Structure 1
Amino acid sequence: MSALTNQFTIDTPSIVKRIAKLLNQKGGKTFLVGGIVRDAVINQIHCTTFPLSDYDLEVFGLELSEIEKILKDNLPYFISQEGKAFQVLKVHHQHGYKPIDITVPRTETSTGPAHTDFVVTANPQLQIKEAAIRRDLTINALYYDIQKSQIIDPFGGLDDISNQVINIVNRKTFKEDPLRVLRVMQFAARFGFTVSPATIEISKEIVQSNMLLALPIERVQQAFMDLFFNATKPSLGFQFLKDSDALFLYLPELDKLAHTHQTPSWHPEGNVFIHTMQAINAAQDISEREGLSKYEKALLIVGALCHDLGKGVSTKFIASENIHIAHGHSKTGVALAKDILKRINAPEHIQKRIPILIEKHLLLPVLYSNHTKGINQTRALYRLIQELQKHQLSLDMLLWVTESDTRARNDNVEIYEPLDRNDVPLINEIYDWVAVTRIEIESTGSSHQEVVDGSDLIRIVHKPQGIWIHAMKHLLEDIVFDPEFRNLIPRPYILDEENNVTEKLIHTLFSFTENYMERNNTSWQFISQNEEMREKLLGQFMIYYKQQV
């Protein structure tokens, strides 16, 4: 399909055909351009279903003022001119629909490092190849002749679509706009295309020149959100960032994971970066399977992207056992994720919800494991649901993050393809257990067995009834249901053979908390009510108790 012109049919609305006919009758030559041509070709060649909705026209042979007059004289629609630099006519043909954009061929000359530093010169007399050279990628440089049902392909974009490759049109023009690096990122992820060596090479040059630093943060946010909203293979976007050295610029915490090893018997896929790439591809698969909205999809992919960031700083190699461990990574990863999300200016609803997903991403497998050992985890699941709801999150979202993590263990690392859900029995077992336990919770409300009874606390501590009991229950539940604590402290020092909290733990925690309150001038009531205070207290207690036992 590499010929200059190719017969092709794009289903075009009657208003677009009418505009093209009007302008062509007055001496113009009107083409559909941009994403709609690219997406129509991709849909036909690769049997995809990308929506076709943005109809952009480029008109050769007529000045923009002539086009405006022709349209206003012949169409009953409101026509506006927008954009001082690019001069775009917009035909507002139907309420609730995107207007049709009309431009004339132009040349663009860079005048500075920013992506807006251009002098734009309209020139309707340009030839198609001259006009198309300003476009970033060959797949975006296709022109569709509406009347002849013919695609004009000046730079081999059709072959690149067939081969699923992203290629630049021209080194000089591509390098003039640093935003194009992030466009390549999101196109690779959206279409599942690989990026050509030439495109990676020129992108590296842009990164090394620090031109990306001149991009407005709003454009950075838009590029990443486009990836999260529209990706069909999100790993390809991040692999391109890594190959072009841009990953270290925007997400150094993620870049570090490529050098963070894991124990092969637990993670046959390899390092944590590979694991994360498989996880985000699994997240995309889940979003499609579950019919998630684009906002839910973005939240899930970001959750999978950030879930193991803490391993980059928490992983240690135990030479005597030949294993890598990353105790505490779900907590250390929270701060790292916050840094990343702030750096790319992620929307507030994502910045608020991701930390709790990271912190709790290990919890469901732990609860299910306890359940299989005969430990009743209904109360634990109830607490988890309540905590997620405080952050306007559903248990389903955490389940999907858990599934993404669990499926990311495929030893075929070449394609970042996660395991199929049905190849990981644990996933279906967790889903089934959660479904049954949810029904139990809904039927009984919050009246589930507590980890310790108030009367037992009074007997063990020898202290009269008071608010301290409520605070101690909170602290003990946080310990019993915290997988990080359970990883650090052997089970017999937390629960006895009958799954009751050990008296040693109760005594030690009570004494430690009394001393903590004195040092920090706080009270049992404040500890009972303040989750952040309990988290700080238990962080110190975890270290102390490990030394004691």
Structure 2
Amino acid sequence: MYLPKIIETISLSLQKHHAKAIIVGGSVRDHFLQLPIKDYDIEVYGFDNLEQLEKILVEFGSVNLVGKSFGVLKFVHEKEEYDFSFPRLESKVGKGHRGFDVETDGSMAFEQAALRRDFTINAMGYDIEGKAFLDPFNAQEDIDAHLLRHIDDNSFVEDPLRVYRAVQFCARFGYELAPETKKLCLNMVKDNLLEELPKERIYKEFVKLLLKSPKPSLGFELMRELGILRYFPELEAIIDVPQDSKWHPEGDVWVHTMICIDAMVGLLGEDKKKNLKYMFAILCHDFGKATTTATDEDGCIRAIGHEVEGLEPTKSFMYRLTSEHDFIESILPLVEYHLKPSQFYAAKSKNRAIRKLATKVNIEELVIVAKAGFLGRTTQESLRGNYKAGEWLLEKAKALKVQNKPLDNLLQGRDLIDLGLEPSPEFKFILDEVYELQMEGDICTKEEALDYVKKYITKQDRK
């Protein structure tokens, strides 16, 4: 297993003090899954107290004591952070994620310490000096079988967040829940244990599900199987909502949405916050169909106005997960206008309409969300993957220089003052009038804008 040199150096120093360093947790799991290792957690065995460990670590870098009460020391070396900890036991003493009593014990056996972990794949270790993997719960067999299996019934139910962790792990790794683990999760949901979880912790698991899974739909389908969707009625409401087979041969709104979120994965870039915005936007984009879907006299299924109708359930859903108001507000225009690229393309809309759309939504972002919606269908056109409407709109928007922001105002209040006008409520009227002419394409330069105002002033003076 590859290890940073500093960890090997510290391990050797620990050994000289009759202590042993073992790599634990996700880094060992990711080694076997052949995934990039981003974080290293090290458990140290053989010391009586954390001060002994701290004394060694400060020789090689800085130590942050913020987690000391939980038996954890944050060690920083050359801007990289590592968690060094003592083996510990956790026992439930109250509700919530803070309702645990933590007992550290440097003399504890690795297998005993690993019992507190959630799944077998997260309970492996790597003995650095012994160059040997430790696998007390046969995780490697579960990896070969692509199974996610919990370790201990009693410790598992003590933290209901583990049900959400099961969901995102299964989606990220393409694993099945072991039958006994699935049964335990079903009972935990049935017994309302998930209700004690703060939304901030749930949100973090949603983020991992959406941003780390090649097929997030696997996680949402598992949520549906486990009964978790009852905590998210906006999602549950789109199940079995019919769609016209001409436009949506793939099935109901839930099926369409699941295909959409998987399609969005292939459209994401490097910006994590933007990626998360896109994923939530496409997840929520058809929420309005739950209340607007109807069959007309010709037998056609329509959901007229579902884009606008979807705004309230989108807000409701998002506020169940996070209080980040600005982030939620940034999602809403992508939901409200997700049909515009296709509508504008069909109508061959004029430049003014495109400029006006840019005042309401970032067109570049909108096209990404709309493309995921397009790819979430199984029509022949969608299966070919060429989203002509989006390409057309983006090309037009770029030519008009409004692809990711509204048209710039050519004039400001100071320009009117420079022309000799006194500040007044009339300024807004003049500036709005000039901006409207910009939107129409009648004014394209600052000189043209100034000429228009000069003529306006002359006309007013004559009155």
Tell whether the structures are fold-level matches, with TM greater than 0.5. yes
Q: CA deviation at 1:125?
A: 3.0
Cα distance, 1:193–1:420 mapped onto 2, change above 3 Å: farther
Does 1:339 find its partner at 2:322?
no
Instruction: Write the deviation string for residues 139-168 of structure 1: whole angstroms up to 9, x where unpaired.
Output: 111101222332211223223333433221
Q: CA deviation at 1:368?
A: 0.6
1:243 aligns to what SS in structure 2? helix
Partner of 1:161 in structure 2? Answer: 143
236, 252, 263: which one aligns with 2:218: 236
Q: CA deviation at 1:327?
A: 1.1
Q: CA deviation at 1:286?
A: 0.7
**1:132 is matched by which residue type in structure 2?**
A
- Percent of aligned positions with the same letter in both sequences? 30
Given that residues 230 and 294 in structure 1 are in contact (C-alpha distance below 8 angstroms), is that contact kept between their aligned partners in structure 2?
no
Does 1:409 find its partner at 2:387?
no
**1:299 is matched by which residue type in structure 2?**
K
1:259 aligns to what SS in structure 2? coil
2:359 aligns to what SS in structure 1? helix
Does 1:434 find its partner at 2:434?
no
1:203 aligns to what SS in structure 2? helix
2:267 aligns to what SS in structure 1? helix
Partner of 1:220 in structure 2? Answer: 202
CA distance in 2, matches of 1:349, 1:195: 36
After alignment, is 272-281 or 189-198 more displaced?
189-198
**2:266 is matched by which residue type in structure 1?**
D
After alignment, is 267-276 or 298-307 more displaced?
267-276
Cα distance, 1:381–1:165 mapped onto 2, change above 3 Å: farther
**1:379 is matched by which residue type in structure 2?**
R
12, 37, 41: which one aligns with 1:21: 12
Cα distance, 1:379–1:159 mapped onto 2, change above 3 Å: farther
**2:355 is matched by which residue type in structure 1?**
Y
Cα distance, 1:442–1:104 mapped onto 2, change above 3 Å: closer
Does 1:37 find its partner at 2:37?
no
1:82 aligns to what SS in structure 2? coil
CA distance in 1, matches of 2:154, 2:85: 23
Partner of 1:89 in structure 2? Answer: 73
Which runs of 5 or more structure 1 residues have no equivalent in the other structure?
A: 1-9, 389-393, 412-418, 448-466, 478-549
250, 263, 266: which one aligns with 1:269: 250
Listed as ranges, the matches of 1:58-457 within 5 Å are 58-65=43-50, 67-68=52-53, 71=56, 75-83=59-67, 85-94=69-78, 96-98=79-81, 100-249=82-231, 251-287=232-268, 291-318=269-296, 321-345=298-322, 347-371=324-348, 376-388=349-361, 394-410=362-378, 423-425=384-386, 427=387, 429-442=388-401
Partner of 2:457 in structure 1? Answer: none
Instruction: Write the deviation string for residues 1-29 of structure 1: whole angstroms up to 9, x where unpaired.
Output: xxxxxxxxx21111101111122232223
CA distance in 2, matches of 1:364, 1:338: 23
Partner of 1:461 in structure 2? Answer: none
Cα distance, 1:261–1:67 mapped onto 2, change above 3 Å: farther
Partner of 1:544 in structure 2? Answer: none
CA distance in 1, matches of 2:177, 2:356: 46
Q: CA deviation at 1:254?
A: 0.6
Which runs of 5 or more structure 2 residues have no equivalent in the other structure?
A: 409-428, 440-463
Cα distance, 1:160–1:113 mapped onto 2, change above 3 Å: same
Q: CA deviation at 1:269?
A: 1.4
1:108 aligns to what SS in structure 2? strand
CA distance in 2, matches of 1:128, 1:282: 42
Instruction: Write the deviation string for residues 260-287 of structure 1: whole angstroms up to 9, x where unpaired.
Output: 1222232121111111111111111111
**Aligned residue-pair number:** 411
Listed as ranges, the matches of 1:498-537 within 5 Å are none
CA-atom RMSD in angstroms: 2.8
**2:76 is matched by which residue type in structure 1?**
H
Give the TM-score taking structure 1 as reference length: 0.69
CA distance in 2, matches of 1:65, 1:441: 63
CA distance in 2, matches of 1:69, 1:175: 33
